[in-house]
Every structure is written in C-alpha cells, then in structure tokens.
C-alpha cells in the first residue's frame, strides 16, 4: 500500500466510523426485538422438531422471533424456567410438577409454572431383548431410564413404583444404552417420546422387542392408556399385535413474567401469533403430533397463562372446556342413567374410572 493510499484511507476513516457506529448500535435492539426463548428436551424425542416448527410460524423477520434452546432434561427445564435468565418458555411433561413436589424439589404450595397449552402426548417405550416376555421380568434387573431429571427418568420412576416392580436404574443417554442392551449388559431401555420416536423408528434389530405396560388406569389421572402399532414401528410391532403402554402430555409452559414487562409482552405476542396461526401447523409436512393439540384443553394442577386464557375466551365459541373432574362427573351420570334405563345395577366406581380413562384415550386420539 502506497503512502498516498494510506493518507486517503486515514482521511476517510472518521466518516466511515460515523456511518457505521449508529448502524452497529442499532443491531442489538433490532436482533432482540420480540425474541422469545423456548427450552426443549433432547433430540431423542420430538420437542426439538416441534420447537423448530413453532419458530418458523412465529418469525416474521422483523418484530417476532422464537429461539429454541436444547435443555438438559425435564427437571432442569422446570428450574431454568423459574430461575434461568432469558428462558421464557419450556416444553415439559405434565407429571413434572407432581414429581418435583413428591421429591420436595419445590415446595408443596409452589404453584409451579403457568401453561399456555397442552401439546401432544408422549408415549412410554420400553425396549427389551426378545427373551424378556413381560415387564414383571425386569424386577431387580438393570433398566436404563435415561439421564437423571429427564422426562423419561421421571415417568419411569413413577411408573415402576406404581407397578411395584423394583428395578436397578441406570442413567445413560438412550443412544448409549441401546448398545448396552444389545450386548446384554442391561435388561431394558426406557424412552418417553412422541411416537414415532426417531430413536426407536430406526431400529431393525430382530433381537429387540417393545414390552407392554399393564398400567392401572385408576392409579393416576396424569397418564392415559395408549398403544404402539405396526404403523408406528413396523420392524418391532406385528401388524395384529399392538403393544399397550401409557402416555403423558407435553406442556408448553411459561415463566412468571409479570415483573418483566418487555419479555411478557413478547410472550403475549407469541401466544397471539401461535393461536391465530395454529391451523397452519395441521397442514401436510408438519409433524403429525400437531393433530393431537387442543388449545383449550385444561391441565389439572397447572395455571393457565392469563393472555392465553383471554385469547381463548375471545376466540373459542366454548371458551372453556370442562375440567377432567367435570367430565368424569358427567360421564358417571351418563353411565348411571343408561344402566338405570336398561334396568341394570350401577357400575362399581373402579369400573367407571376404567371406562372413563378409555373414553379419555379415545377423545385424545390415543386409541387406534
């Protein structure tokens, strides 16, 4: 570079900086305008895909943007939602609040998080070698339930406890545990993920099978009975032999943001755009689990995010769907009246409860 060129560039530098500095100063404000951060679970499930599709719906290139963040598991996601700077929303399993209170990780009086809506159901997969015929045979054997605090670990711990089947839990990532299962080092691998789960769908191992879960339908309202079919996993499930299991709802939860006006406004804008544009997520090309979403569905033990409730009241013809307890009562009356009209005795409460759970499974599309 010649001396003359250096002199010219030096003389131009103040003018260039004067132009660049305002533009650079505007960038942080522009990039952060309308941003909402959503924490998902890991890639072994479908929440990352759901987050991506939500981000595509929300992003308008100027005033709204959703940034998905892969979290460390359900329990950490709940803690992050309450305390981590910048996390506005998280996808959580519906049983996380009960689990956290049972383990005294949050106070019994803690209302937990708000929810915007219940999303899809996640099915419990229990993979074992062919020589294991039933879940009862896993007693006192090694079962990998995934990393501690993950949605799988939480549901598995509660499920085996309700089934009264003691297992030796290991906490490896499911991808690692699959190799241990093939080698005979462990007896089974558990996975809570929306079907068809990518990790399970890709398996073509004739030595593996999916075990049925003989779940007591009266034990817990958080779980619903469902089935895994040959359509879900053609290499693992025979055409005429679906595998019974249970499912737990995934929840779009939101932090307490009333003291953070800008973030609260951003989430309010997210709710408006998500709910208004929800029908577009049902179109071909999107994940089939969107078909299970009922924006107005209520979750016992959770509080609805007020702007979401207000949107439903403004836009849904029946602003509030009956609660589970209200539906249970109506269903019980229906059964009593039908049996009385037929001259039959009332059903015992346990049979009513089992039939109600089957009705709920049919209502949410979980019976095939």
- Per residue in 306-348, pLDDT (tens digit) is 999 999 998 875 444 556 666 777 777 777 766 765 667 778 8
190 and 57 part of one domain? yes
Using one digit for the tens of pLDDT, what is the confidence trace for 234-275? 888 888 889 999 899 999 999 888 888 899 999 999 999 999
76 and 2 part of one domain? no
**295 within 8 A of 272, measured Cβ to Cβ:** no
13 and 62 part of one domain? no
Range with top average pLDDT, 34-38, 53-57, 355-359 = 53-57
**81 within 8 A of 110, measured Cβ to Cβ:** no
**187 within 8 A of 138, measured Cβ to Cβ:** yes
71 and 183 part of one domain? yes
Q: What is the largest CA-CA distance in the chain?
A: 108
How large is the average pLDDT for residues 300-305?
86
Distance CA 118, CA 272 (A): 16
Domain of residue 25, residue span: 1-29
Residue 311: give its domain's CATH number.
Answer: 3.40.190.10
Using one digit for the tens of pLDDT, what is the confidence trace for 155-190? 999 899 888 999 999 999 888 888 999 888 999 999
220 and 345 part of one domain? no
Percentage of the chain beyond pLDDT 90 is 29
Distance CA 49, CA 74 (A): 16
Residues 6+ positions from 77 with CB-CB distance below 8 Å = 39, 41, 71, 90, 91, 92
137 and 259 part of one domain? yes
In-domain check, residue 331: yes
329 and 317 part of one domain? no
């Amino acid at each position: 570079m010649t001396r003359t060129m250096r002199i010219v560039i030096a003389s131009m530098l103040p003018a260039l900086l004067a132009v660049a500095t305002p533009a650079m100063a505007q960038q942080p404000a522009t990039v952060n305008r309308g941003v909402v951060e959503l924490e998902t679970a890991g890639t072994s499930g479908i929440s990352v895909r759901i987050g991506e599709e939500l981000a595509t719906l929300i992003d308008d290139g100027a005033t709204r943007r959703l940034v998905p963040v892969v979290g460390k598991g359900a329990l950490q996601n709940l803690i992050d939602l309450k305390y981590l700077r910048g996390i506005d929303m998280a996808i959580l399993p519906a049983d996380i609040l009960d689990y956290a209170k049972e383990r005294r990780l949050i106070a019994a009086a803690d209302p937990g998080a708000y929810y915007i809506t219940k999303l899809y159901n996640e099915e419990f997969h229990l993979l074992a070698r062919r020589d294991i015929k039933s879940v009862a045979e896993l007693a006192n054997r090694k079962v990998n339930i995934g990393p501690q605090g993950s949605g799988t670990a939480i549901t598995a711990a509660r499920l085996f406890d309700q089934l009264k089947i003691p297992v030796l839990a290991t906490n490896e990532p499911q991808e690692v545990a699959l190799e241990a299962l093939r080698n005979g080092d462990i007896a089974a691998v558990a996975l809570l993920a929306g079907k068809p789960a990518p990790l399970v769908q890709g398996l073509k191992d004739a030595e593996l099978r999916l075990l049925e879960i003989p779940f007591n339908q009266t034990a817990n309202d958080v779980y619903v009975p469902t089935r895994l079919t040959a359509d879900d996993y053609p290499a693992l499930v025979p055409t005429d032999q679906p595998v019974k299991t249970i499912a737990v709802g995934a929840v779009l939860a939101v932090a307490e943001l009333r003291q953070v006006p800008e973030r609260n406004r951003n989430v309010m804008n997210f709710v408006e755009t998500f709910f208004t544009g929800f029908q577009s997520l049902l179109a071909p090309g999107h994940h089939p689990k969107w078909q299970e979403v009922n924006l107005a569905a209520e979750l016992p033990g959770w509080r609805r995010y007020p702007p979401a409730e207000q949107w439903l009241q403004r836009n849904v013809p029946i602003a509030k769907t009956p609660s589970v307890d209200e539906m249970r009562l109506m269903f019980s009356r229906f059964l009593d009246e039908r049996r009385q009209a037929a001259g039959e005795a009332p059903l015992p409460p346990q049979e009513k409860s089992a039939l109600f759970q089957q009705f709920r499974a049919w209502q949410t599309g979980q019976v095939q």
